[in-house]
Structure 1
Amino acid sequence: MILDQDVGTELQTFVVRGLKEDVGDGDHTSRACVPEDQRSKAHLLVKENCVLSGMEVAKEMIRFVDEKADIQTVMKDGELAKSGEVAMYVTMNTRALLKIERLLLNTVQRMCGISTMSRKYANAVEDFDVKILDTRKTTPQMRFLEKEAVRIGGCTNYRSGLYDRIMIKDNHIDAAGSMRNALHAVHDYLKKKNLNLLITVEVRSFSELNEAIVVGGFQRIMLDNFSVTEMREAVSQIDGRYEVEASGGITYSDLVPVARTGVDFISVGALTHGVKAVDLSLKILEA
């Protein structure tokens, strides 16, 4: 993860909020038990097989609480780590270590879980010309980290939020009265605001698909909860005129059958909302 200025600022804000939640007016246990100037060596231990993610984030978190910390990275983001391997060593102020420990572990464990699942999903369709996309089904305030973990795992980020792509979904269509009305409203809005945003239309049926194609003026069609047979028929009907995305409760076992239909993208919310955190620990070796 290359922490450019915007991401670096976002991470700092995340750390400040996380520490406020966890530390409050002080870590009184550590203040009672640990001398203020004590330094300790610790390691970040991997306790189950995973694809590592969040190593750069961990380093930034450590430096946030102790600028003089000596960090030795043993493994990098994207590497396959086995249970029992050490990903990082750090020598730093002991109170600062105990202060950042839980926030660091909570964050990195979740990122590793996401990158591990993403690698599994990406590998499943490596023989097909299709990309696995993430969604907006992310943990509030952690989207930038969770989407980074998706990239590290080998899948592809979709839109970052509501602001960087037009996505006309079922609720928009129902609120506008029809697919035709929604598309015309979007075209008028983009022209009025002088915005150049890509457009995805979600279709729930072949009638909506046909209506969207008649109006046109978009880049991607999202097939929502279509069966594999229906996907194959829709891809044939679209015939390369638009990008095609499959969406709607797609599981790992669905990936290959869906990829075989010829869709260009498969969006999977489970990459971020259905993961189990990987077990890691940050343990003091020498005090």
Structure 2
Amino acid sequence: MLTRTVIERVVAAALEEDAPWGDLTSETLLVESAVARADLVARESGVFSGGEVFAAAFVLTDPRIDVQLHVEDGAYFLPGERLATVIGPARGVLTAERVALNFVQRMSGISTLTAQYVAEVAHTGARIADTRKTTPGLRAFERHAVRMGGGHNHRFSLSDAVMAKDNHLAVLAQKGVSVTAALQGAIAQLPHTTHVEVEVDRLDQIDAVLAAGVGTVMLDNFSLDDLRAGVERIAGQALVDASGGVTLETVRAIAETGVDVISVGALTHSARALDLGLDIGIDAESVPR
């Protein structure tokens, strides 16, 4: 979850990266008493995400800065709409500007792309989920953005659930270990609340996985015909998760095969930053020294 602690830790690191010894430009050009008012304005339509992160960039830079959010995370907006207003010491506002924009543009881009995928699968029963293909250090931010776009989160980390992928199964096969027996042994060691998912890339792997009593079977890079056959073979004994090469052009057809979940790495690794601008006005006192 996107907690205040996580927000402050990540944003503080970004601010330190961008201004390790202060903002040399603002400190030499602007008088200390200068006040700025800035409006976060949408240059294109989209779904907003990252309001608290945006605000934190300014407040952590200078607690005297006031940030007013005009839309909530998850809200749809149009070009020209004012999304937030920032008022405070001009030096602080300009120091935090780029970091604040980087986060809110990135997160709103993810939310907007997710919303497009969710719209494509409307009324099919399939849910859109993200993957672990996130920017290192920004997973909590990016996964929050997915939720704001109407999507769902897969396991947050390697510690949250068991997910046996093709490479795990390949190692078992090399050792001559039965997949069913290995999975049953793993399940026996786990708390009853821990979910187990197994990825397969061929139809003939499904029966051995189902025999172990797993919760979800991921059908990876299956054709549409094989997805339908896989759903029929699993027949409600486990959830069916489809993954691999999912695009906006193909996601509807994948959903119509009857799968329960569609995992889309593109939500986080290929989302375009949305075009949002910070229109700044400087108080009359802010003149060059």
2:151 is the alignment partner of 1:155: yes
The structure-2 alpha-carbon separation of the partners of 1:203 and 1:76, relative to structure 1 and needing over 3 Å to count, comes to same
Alignment partner of 1:177: what SS?
helix
- Counterpart selection for 2:131 from 125, 131, 135: 135
CA displacement at 1:141 relative to structure 2: 0.7
Match of 1:40 in 2: 36
Structure 2-normalised TM-score?
A: 0.92
- Counterpart selection for 2:221 from 221, 225, 228: 225
Q: Distance in 2 between matches of 1:194 and 1:52?
A: 38
Q: Distance in 2 between matches of 1:129 and 1:68?
A: 48
Aligned length: 282
Alignment partner of 2:249: what SS?
helix
Match of 1:245 in 2: 241
Match of 2:46 in 1: 50
Deviation digits for residues 154-205 of structure 1 (CA, Å, limit 9, x no counterpart): 0111110111011000111112227964554454355446574200000111
Q: Distance in 2 between matches of 1:140 and 1:71?
A: 28
Deviation digits for residues 200-255 of structure 1 (CA, Å, limit 9, x no counterpart): 000111221122123x2210000011100001011111111110011111111111
CA displacement at 1:91 relative to structure 2: 0.7
Q: Distance in 2 between matches of 1:197 and 1:60?
A: 35
The structure-2 alpha-carbon separation of the partners of 1:23 and 1:186, relative to structure 1 and needing over 3 Å to count, comes to farther
Moved more, 135-144 or 57-66: 57-66
Equivalent residue letter for 1:11:
I
Q: Distance in 2 between matches of 1:160 and 1:201?
A: 16
The structure-2 alpha-carbon separation of the partners of 1:269 and 1:94, relative to structure 1 and needing over 3 Å to count, comes to same
Kindly report which structure 2 residues correspond to 1:19-98, keeping only aligned pairs within 5 A, or say none: 19-98=15-94
Match of 2:201 in 1: 204
Are the aligned partners of 2:61 and 2:96 in contact in 1 as well (CA < 8 Å)? yes
Alignment partner of 1:103: what SS?
helix
Alignment partner of 2:280: what SS?
strand
The ranges of structure 1 where at least 4 consecutive aligned residues each deviate by more than 3 angstroms after the TM superposition are 178-196
CA displacement at 1:64 relative to structure 2: 1.6
Unaligned runs of 5+ in 2: 284-289
Q: Distance in 1 between matches of 2:264 and 2:76?
A: 22
The structure-2 alpha-carbon separation of the partners of 1:185 and 1:111, relative to structure 1 and needing over 3 Å to count, comes to same
Match of 2:286 in 1: none
Q: Distance in 1 between matches of 2:180 and 2:139?
A: 28
2:259 is the alignment partner of 1:263: yes
Structure 1-normalised TM-score?
A: 0.92
Identical aligned residues as a percent: 38
Are the aligned partners of 2:210 and 2:238 in contact in 1 as well (CA < 8 Å)? no
The structure-2 alpha-carbon separation of the partners of 1:183 and 1:28, relative to structure 1 and needing over 3 Å to count, comes to farther
Q: Distance in 2 between matches of 1:275 and 1:153?
A: 12
The structure-2 alpha-carbon separation of the partners of 1:40 and 1:183, relative to structure 1 and needing over 3 Å to count, comes to farther
Deviation digits for residues 33-92 of structure 1 (CA, Å, limit 9, x no counterpart): 112232211111111111111112212222222222222222222222112111111111
Q: Distance in 2 between matches of 1:134 and 1:258?
A: 16
Q: Distance in 2 between matches of 1:267 and 1:35?
A: 51
Are the aligned partners of 2:41 and 2:83 in contact in 1 as well (CA < 8 Å)? yes
Match of 2:272 in 1: 276
